[in-house]
Amino acid sequence: MTGLPAHHPVETLRWRDGRLEMIDQRILPMRFEYLSYANADEVAQGIRSMVVRGAPAIGCAAAYGVALQALAHQHVNADEFAKAMDHGFEVLAASRPTAVNLFWALQRMRESVQSHSQLSPPQLASLLLTLAHGIAAEDVRINQAMGAHGAALLADGARVLTHCNAGALATAGHGTALGVFRSAVAAGKTIHVIADETRPFLQGARLTAWEMVQENIPVTLITDNMAGHLMKQGEIDAVVVGTDRVAANGDVANKIGTYMVAVLAHRHGIPFYVACPLSTIDMQLANGDAIPIEERHPDEVMGFGAQRWAPPGVNVRNPAFDVTPAELVSGLITEKGVVHQPNEAKLKKLFQS
């Protein structure tokens, strides 16, 4: 089992010797290792295979993927450079479909390429790398702002359920939902985190539990099917989760199982909050029905790692995300403040202010 040196923040992505390094989240918490990436194809594979995961972290990785693609091809002729860049954007955009941060980051990188067409490939490569660093640094600042707004919603001593991992590992640092817990603890509150295991990829059991244990934030791990019982027993005061995409009407796509938690929270009168940077809101989509839901490989449901427990030949479904209707969302915690009972008018206003 692995741990970080004391007071060492999790660096999900880092730039080392002209390459991107990312923590291999498939093997945490048993091993803590970085893998190294040199071009867009490699980064896309890292995203697809879940070395890096979590909406904001995927966006940051994609931005670095574009910068790496430019650096890797900066010495070829202009035509070949343009072709390599088109390929880079394409392969990164095809890596995972649900988290809108991926497309948001690619769009920012593309706009920069288009508005600097007069630059030589080496100049453009250097500019794209600066932009990727900027997107990662901005993500941490946004998470800290969300953390402050979200922390104010939690009472001292609150027992808060979270689903999946919306922590430092899912972002460039601090986290969204776990950022709220970190900020509340930093403000002097006692917070007890209840982490859903999050079948089938176990982001809760492996990643959220690991992050909280690293920082001595009290955490209790439960399997996903225990949440209703704990709510009924009065052992959960609030739910805070992250999100991969929020539609214009406030419908929330997040890790499979989130909808079930939201329905349970509603039934038990428990507030259900979603930590959501503006980069995760997709005003192009009228409602959650239009959000593409990734369907992943059956192997993830049939076992974990090398271990298999389901019989070969069984039919399997593996949707990786679900959509929680806006009516079940008590509030979206954004970097601009909390949007209570979100709807289209409130979200539009958020982008205007």
> What number of other Cβ atoms are within 10 A of residue 77's Cβ?
10
Can residue 170 be called a binding residue for ligand MRU (CB under 6 A)? yes
The residue assigned the tokens 């890292």 is 46
The residue assigned the tokens 């922590």 is 167
Can residue 203 be called a binding residue for ligand MRU (CB under 6 A)? yes
Where are the extended beta strands (E) located within 18-125?
A: 19-23, 34-37
Out of 171, 324, 330, 334, name the contact with ligand MRU by CB under 6 A: 171
Instruction: Give the footprint of ligand MRU on residues 264-303 (CB under 6 A).
Output: none
Sign of CA dihedral 182, 187, 193, 198: negative
The residue assigned the tokens 């880092």 is 14
- Choose the stretch contacting ligand MRU; rule: CB under 6 A; options: 81-89, 113-121, 221-229, 239-247: 239-247
- Helix, strand, coil percentages (3-state) for the chain, rounded to 5, are 45, 15, 40
Can residue 162 be called a binding residue for ligand MRU (CB under 6 A)? no
Can residue 334 be called a binding residue for ligand MRU (CB under 6 A)? no
Query: How far apart are the C-alpha atoms of 15 and 267, rounded to whole Å?
Result: 46
Out of 173, 204, 242, 342, name the contact with ligand MRU by CB under 6 A: 242
Can residue 62 be called a binding residue for ligand MRU (CB under 6 A)? no
End-to-end CA distance of the chain: 46
* Contact mark string toward ligand MRU, 86..115, x via CB under 6 A: -------------x----------------
With CA atoms as reference, report the closest residue to 212 among 29, 12, 24. 29
In the numeric block, which tokens belong to residue 46? 């890292």
Instruction: Please report how close the Cβ of residue 313 comes to ligand MRU at its closest, in angstroms.
Output: 26
Can residue 166 be called a binding residue for ligand MRU (CB under 6 A)? yes
Instruction: Please report how close the Cβ of residue 149 comes to ligand MRU at its closest, in angstroms.
Output: 15
Secondary structure letter of residue 77 according to DSSP: -
Is 58 within 8 Å of 47 (Cβ atoms)?
Answer: yes
- Choose the stretch contacting ligand MRU; rule: CB under 6 A; options: 14-22, 59-67, 72-80, 240-248: 240-248
Out of 54, 65, 97, 173, name the contact with ligand MRU by CB under 6 A: 54
Q: Is 244 a catalytic residue?
A: yes
Q: Which of 237, 244, 251, 282 is catalytic?
A: 244
Out of 196, 211, 244, 335, name the contact with ligand MRU by CB under 6 A: 244
Q: 78, exposed or middle or buried, with CB in 10 Å at 0-12, 13-18, 19+?
A: exposed
Q: Give catalytic residues, as residue numbers.
A: 244
Residues making contact with ligand MRU (CB under 6 A): 53-56, 99, 164, 166, 170-171, 176, 203, 242-244, 254-255, 320
